[in-house]
Amino acid sequence: MTMNVKRPELLLPAGSKEKLDYAIHYGADAVYLGMVDFSLRAMRKGELITIDNLKECINLAHSMNKKVYLTLNIFAYDNDLKKMIEQAEKINDAAPDAILFSDFGVYNLIRKYMPKIALHVSTQTNILNSEAVKFWQDLGAERVVLSRDLSLEQIKEIKKNVPDMELEVFVHGAQCVSFSGRCLISDYMTKGERKANHGNCSQSCRWSYKLVEETRQGEYFDIEENGQGTHILSPKDLALINYLPQLIDIGIDSFKIEGRTKSLYYVSAVAKAYRKAIDDYLNLGKIDEEANYNEIIKIGNRGYTTGFYFHKPDSEGYSYDISKGLAGADCLCVFLEKKDNKYKILTKNKFLLNDEIEIITPSECFKTKVNNIVDDKSCEKKELSNTNDISWLELSQEPQNYEYALARTIGVKNLR
């Protein structure tokens, strides 16, 4: 193991109980999650984390000796604070390891109604300097999440000046065009219906915009010549997997991955990639940069950038052509059950009999061939498994442990 280096925490998003479970099995040391009413990434459909299942989710992580941080980091109105007070008893009973917050009113309520829970200060508070870190340390916070607008050298200076305070930094995922994510564009463009600072961002920075000349109302001029407009506000995604050694050497306490609303495949694959990179450096003193990059391009992305870490972002830091994240590999299925040499799967994207596919598990990654597909209901053999089908597969090579296994396409497409 690399000498005199502290082992950092790998912190993954948990948008649901299932994603929490997979994130931990694929390598997370801790997860962060938010409830619908108080989170900046509040999903409104699907399997949600609510005050009613919060304790169940936290207990699951604690049963695997992992930590859970609860996000109460909206900028709150009085009615929000009233809801928090009403739910404080259940939050205390659920026993998260820390609460992330950004609002001073929320801070007061946590100290008053949830005093035994540790305080983590959200990146929304725009922490850019050592004195700001000391300020929150004096107010009882155990950790601060630094602004994404800092360089590596600035982070190093902060850690040197406040060595006894835990520092958390973002290392991977989507970035917001606004300063530390404090955004009003969504509110304006949706006439107040989608408040970004209240967990309901419409992602206006991902929209395509065109230029209008004031004196010629209604005449549009494309900013690019291709006639498709341009995503002038849409940053590429952050990816620091090959720069983790510098951050580890500084003594950063926690590496944070963005993506509570992203897929089960995203959470699993990004956890696996960053877990390996961290462990390689700690155990071997080096990382495999090419292998790391080849792995993260198989995960949904808008192209990658290092953000502010080495220089102020220029035009190369924006994804002008498209705002949607594209994965270099499609997730094909999730493994559900095993009987003899057959595997019950839920299909995420269509695949065919005799296709070569890639299996990933928390401990494996290998190529195999689909030798047989049988429909779960009719028990008839078929030539393909369509999206949302439940099927039984026979494979030329089987995973050592099918639990938490995922299948994806081989190779890389949509290379940005």
Percent of the chain with pLDDT strictly greater than 90: 66
pLDDT surpassing 70 at residue 8: yes
**pLDDT reported for residue 193:** 63
**pLDDT reported for residue 312:** 74
Domain boundaries, the chain: 9-175+235-317, 179-221, 331-408
Bridge partners, residue 13, by sequence: 32
**pLDDT reported for residue 186:** 57
Which tops the pLDDT comparison, 146 or 303?
Answer: 146
How many whole angstroms from its chain centre is CA 162? 27
| Mutual angle of helices 78-94 and 104-113, in 10-degree steps | 40
Average pLDDT of 39-51? 67
Closest by CA position to 143, among listed 172, 118, 107, 112 = 118
**pLDDT reported for residue 324:** 63
321 falls in which pLDDT band (50, 70, 90)? low
**pLDDT reported for residue 1:** 53
SS3 state of residue 97: coil
Quote the radius of gyration of the chain (alpha carbons, Å): 23
Q: Which of 72-86, 205-219, 255-269, 379-393 has the lowest mean pLDDT?
A: 205-219
Q: How far is CA 20 from CA 66, 334, 362, in A?
A: 10, 15, 14
pLDDT surpassing 80 at residue 41: no
Under 8 Å between Cβ of 376 and 391:
yes
Percent of the chain with pLDDT strictly greater than 70: 79
66 falls in which pLDDT band (50, 70, 90)? very high
Strands 384-385 and 351-352 turn out to be antiparallel
The class level of CATH for 9-175+235-317 reads: alpha beta
The class level of CATH for 331-408 reads: mainly beta
Give the amino acid at 399.
P
Bridge partners, residue 343, by sequence: 338, 393
Q: Which of 215-219, 261-265, 340-344, 411-415 has the lowest mean pLDDT?
A: 215-219
pLDDT surpassing 90 at residue 62: yes
415 falls in which pLDDT band (50, 70, 90)? low
**pLDDT reported for residue 149:** 86
Q: In the structure encoding, which two tokens stand for residue 300, read together?
A: 């949904």
Burial class (CB in 10 A: 0-12, 13-18, 19+), 316: exposed
Under 8 Å between Cβ of 152 and 216:
no
110 falls in which pLDDT band (50, 70, 90)? very high
* Averaged confidence pLDDT in the chain: 87
Average pLDDT of 93-111? 96
Average pLDDT of 91-120? 97
Average pLDDT of 293-316? 82
Q: In the structure encoding, which two tokens stand for residue 376, read together?
A: 């779960």
Which tops the pLDDT comparison, 235 or 78?
Answer: 78
**pLDDT reported for residue 32:** 96
**pLDDT reported for residue 313:** 66
Average pLDDT of 126-144? 97
Average pLDDT of 393-416? 91
Average pLDDT of 219-229? 51
pLDDT surpassing 60 at residue 107: yes
Give the amino acid at 197.
N
Q: In the structure encoding, which two tokens stand for residue 94, read together?
A: 């659920």
pLDDT surpassing 80 at residue 187: no
**pLDDT reported for residue 35:** 82
pLDDT in tens, 145-184: 999 889 999 999 999 999 999 999 999 987 666 655 556 5
What does the buried/exposed string (b/e) look like for 26-65 if buried means 16 or more CB atoms within 10 Å of the residue's CB?
bbbbbbbbbbebbbbbbbeeeebbebeebeebbebbeeee
